[in-house]
Structures are given as structure tokens and as C-alpha cells.
Amino acid sequence: MKSPLLLFITLVLVLAGSCPCPAAARDGKPNVIVIYADDLGWGDLGCYGSPTISTPHLNRMAAQGMRFTDFYSAAEVCTPSRAALLTGRYPVRNGMCHETYRVLRRNSKGGLPKSEVTLASVLKQQGYRTGCVGKWHLGHLKEHLPPNHGFEEYFGMPFSNDMMPAPDAPKGREKMFFEDTSLWRTPLIRGLDVIEEKPDQRQLTKRYTEESLKFIEKNKDQPFFLYLAHTFPHVPLFASEAFKDRSRAGLYGDVVEEIDWSVGQILDGLVRLGIDNNTLVVFSSDNGPWTLFDSHGGSAGPLREGKGSTWEGGMRVPGIFWWPSRIASGITRHETASTMDVFTTVTKLAGATPPQDRVIDGRDIAPLLFGSDRSPSDDPFFYYRGPDLYAVRIGLWKAHFITRSSYGPDKPAPHDPPLLFHLGEDPGERWDRAAKYPEVIERMRQAVAKHRANLVPAASQLIETE
Ligand code: MG
């Protein structure tokens, strides 16, 4: 007969081995995964009405979670958008809209200022393991790379996949359409070091997915934050053999369908590891579709224009939140929310306090995600192009003080009174209602004045010459 001590030890070991409660060790802190597509349009997913691109996994993510119809990136192009996501601040505050080109180009020397606090830094301080996979584009010199902004691990490209054409690549716009990966040499980096000078871009989505799954599996027993920023569907487009010539939407559809597959792999991996109920997954895009590239650019659906513009198509993007144990399934939200809100909401979920020494623009949208708060938000959302405020939205009204087409030769056109659109009856921004609603315009002006009064643009750490 076993001694009571032996029985006790056996019981403890059995219980320890069978306990499905990693949450106990994590002190209530959820894992967080942000999946960020590049130049994916509002209308490019099945669950957002695409008639041709098949996205069963993102559709499932939305059906099991929450889909926002009025979700915004805080900028109309890559770099400031990413800075806003990771700092919870309008780019005008974190310095990434001023002289953005100093970061955007391959010979730039600038980067996200060291004084900025990223979501990765906040979560790392809370005991999270932090990893970044994919496109960075917040400065590619070593001192600006993810490991110097709170990420313990990094695997990916330092900037856009079109930024380093091979010396023998054709010049001009046409090269963007060539399906030859050898024309490009944007490198792959691990940690702080280049590991491949000329990676095969057809394999990127698959490799990013494998890296992400490895990171998740390795850290499954403790809280982790994974930022998976896909290189695609930014042009030039590349899909792996398994996805090539599969979509009715051509190569653009192939590329988006491979990203959709990747999302499915991540969600299935979380379920397989038994951590789906401890994990918040967010899916979004850094800006609207690059319509300049015809069929190789995406679609903003019914929204006007695309990337590079403060019309809705430039900044309204897909926004899907998934967390099986906390977010009720199949909910569609029409309240205005933004990528900056991810910063504040996740910071609080992790038990931290957002930085108090600076203005944080992101709001805590936990009441929207987890509760029954369906009241329309009256908080204004501001549309910037570079350092200039172009438009503001409050509720369903949007006023444009300046307009300019995405990539056309036209100069910025100021409007006084501003153009006024009702995004409920007119999501395509076609019918100016300014003459009929002066009181709405007055409200917009007051919101802008209040916003400007507390606007202290970041001291520029970007005063560097190229
Ligand atoms: Mg982009």
C-alpha cells in the first residue's frame, strides 16, 4: 500500500499535468496577436463584400468574433500608420509624419523616435514575450529596428518589398507588374542582422506564417505579443505555388487568399495549443488599396479613392477582433474605432497604465468589444495627410477642410466652408451637405480647435540628412 505522502505527491503530479489553466500563470493577461496587412482595401475580403476574393478564414474570424465597419488606420500610407498602431498616437504627435520620406526611402536614416513608447515595450514590461514578424518600415538602420523598440525577436523585411529593385530591373511603373522575384532585393532580417540579401518573395507569406507559429508555440505557456505585419498585398505581388492562379480576382486575389490561409493557420494553431480562449487576435490593414496599380491594387468597395488619400478609401480599413472566450460571436459594430485604440485597449487588458507623460489618442474600446455598449461614438476622428489636418469625422458626419487626390498632380485644395458628407447615406462622399447643415460644421470647427489646442507635435528626432 502506498504511503499517504506518496499518494499526495501522485495527486499533485496528476493535477499539475492535467490542469488546462495557463491563465493561472499568466495572471489574467491575454496573449495578443495583431495581424496587419499592407495596402489591403476595405472591400477586399469576403466578409466586407468582395465578390471575387475568397477569404473563408477571415470570414470565420469575423463570424466567431467582431467586425467593425467603420474602423480606421490613423494614416493614409505605411510608415505613419504603423507608428500610430504601435504608439496609440496620431503620427503628428510621434514625429512620423514630419519628413516621413526620411523613413520611407531605402537610403533614409530616420526612424521611430526612441522617446516613443511602443505597445511591445509596454507589454514587455508586463512580462510578455514580444515578437515582430514581417514588414517594419519604422526605420531600417539597426538602432531603429524592432529589437530596439520593445520586440525581443524580429524576422522580416525592414521596409516595403518594392524599395530595392535589383540593378538590372526595368525602370518605371511597369516593373511593379513583373512576376519575377529576382528583380527585387529587399533583404530579410533576423534580430538586427541581414540574413538574406535577395529572398524569394513568393515564399514570404508562408515563411512569416511558419515563424509566427513557432513563436506562438514556444511561448504558449506565458503571455505573448506577436505583431505579424504581412508584406503583401503591397505591390509587386507574389504568391506561393499553392496559391498561384487560384483566385477569380487574379494575382491580387491569390495574394490575399494566401494571407487568408495564413490567418487560418494562426487561429487553428491557437485552438490546437489550447490557448484560443486566452488570446485576442486583431486583423487590420495599414491603409487603403493602392488603386494606382489597376488590377494589382485592391478595392475600397463603395468608398472613395484609396491609399494616399484622406477620402474614406484611403484610411477606412477592415477591423476584425477575435477572442472566443471574451468577444461574443458574429457581432458587427458600426461605431468609429481605430488602430490607435488597439494600443490603449491592450495596454489596459495587460494590467498596465498607458503612458501618462504624453497625449495618447487611442481609446479603450473594451466596452465595445466585451459589453453591450452600442451607443454611437461622438469622439472625433481626425484625418491627417503628413502634418496637415485634412478632415474630421464625428458620428456619421465628415468634414473635409482640405482635399487632394491620392497620387494625382493636383495641389491641396482648401475648403471654407469645409465639404460636408453624411457617411450613413453617402459612404462614397459624393453629395456635399455643407450649405444645409451650418450647425454641424460649427461643431466640426470646435472639435478641430480643441484638438489643435492640445497638439504638441513631437520634437523631431528626424532632423537628419539623407
Ligand atoms: Mg501600406
Please state, in angstroms and as integers, the Cα–Cα distance from residue 271 to each residue in 138, 202, 267, 387, 417, following that order: 32, 28, 6, 43, 53
Q: Given a cut of 70, is residue 410 above it in pLDDT?
A: yes
Tens-place pLDDT, residues 426-444? 999 999 999 999 999 999 9
| pTM for this model (two decimals) | 0.93
109 and 137 in a single domain? The answer is yes
Within a domain: 18? no
The last residue of one of the domains, among 330, 347, 369, is 369
216 and 93 in a single domain? The answer is yes
Name the pairing type of β-strands 66-72 and 337-338. Answer: parallel
Within a domain: 17? no
Give the 3-state secondary structure of residue 265: helix
Which range is most confident: 281-295, 405-419, 443-457?
Answer: 281-295
Of 53, 26, 30, 34, give the one whose Cα is nearest residue 42: 53
Measured in Å, residue 150 CA sits from the centre of ligand 1 at 22
**pLDDT for res 329:** 96
Tens-place pLDDT, residues 289-346? 999 999 999 999 999 999 999 999 999 999 999 999 999 999 999 999 999 999 999 9
57 and 144 in a single domain? The answer is yes
The last residue of one of the domains, among 319, 343, 369, is 369
CATH number, domain containing residue 442: 3.30.1120.10
201 and 271 in a single domain? The answer is yes
403 and 273 in a single domain? The answer is no
Angle, in degrees to the nearest 10, between helices 78-87 and 339-349: 20
Measured in Å, residue 292 CA sits from the centre of ligand 1 at 13
Tens-place pLDDT, residues 15-50? 443 333 343 347 889 999 999 999 999 999 999 999
Which uninterrupted H or E stretch holds 324?
none
Cα(354)–Cα(361) distance, integer angstroms: 11
402 and 279 in a single domain? The answer is no
360 and 387 in a single domain? The answer is no
Within a domain: 284? yes
Measured in Å, residue 39 CA sits from the centre of ligand 1 at 4
Within a domain: 174? yes
Burial 436-466 (b: 16+ CB within 10 A, else e): ebeebbebbeebbeebeeeeeebeebbeeee
Within a domain: 11? no
330 and 395 in a single domain? The answer is no
398 and 365 in a single domain? The answer is no
Of 216, 214, 207, give the one whose Cα is nearest residue 129: 216
The counts of H helices and E strands in the chain are 13, 15
Domain that holds residue 158: 25-369
183 and 290 in a single domain? The answer is yes
292 and 145 in a single domain? The answer is yes
307 and 174 in a single domain? The answer is yes
Q: Is 235 left (phi over 0), alpha (psi -120 to 50) or beta?
A: beta
pLDDT (mean) for 121-135: 98
Within a domain: 465? no
Cα(134)–Cα(137) distance, integer angstroms: 10
CATH number, domain containing residue 356: 3.40.720.10
Residue 426 exposed, middle or buried by CB count within 10 Å (0-12, 13-18, 19+): middle
Within a domain: 466? no
Which uninterrupted H or E stretch holds 316?
strand 316-322
Residue 379 exposed, middle or buried by CB count within 10 Å (0-12, 13-18, 19+): middle
Residue 13: pLDDT band (50, 70, 90) is: very low
Tens-place pLDDT, residues 154-197? 999 999 999 999 888 888 888 899 889 999 999 999 999 999 99
The catalytic residue positions are 78, 137
Residue 25 exposed, middle or buried by CB count within 10 Å (0-12, 13-18, 19+): exposed
Measured in Å, residue 160 CA sits from the centre of ligand 1 at 8
Measured in Å, residue 406 CA sits from the centre of ligand 1 at 13
Within a domain: 376? no
Measured in Å, residue 454 CA sits from the centre of ligand 1 at 28
How many domains in the chain?
A: 2
The last residue of one of the domains, among 369, 392, 414, is 369
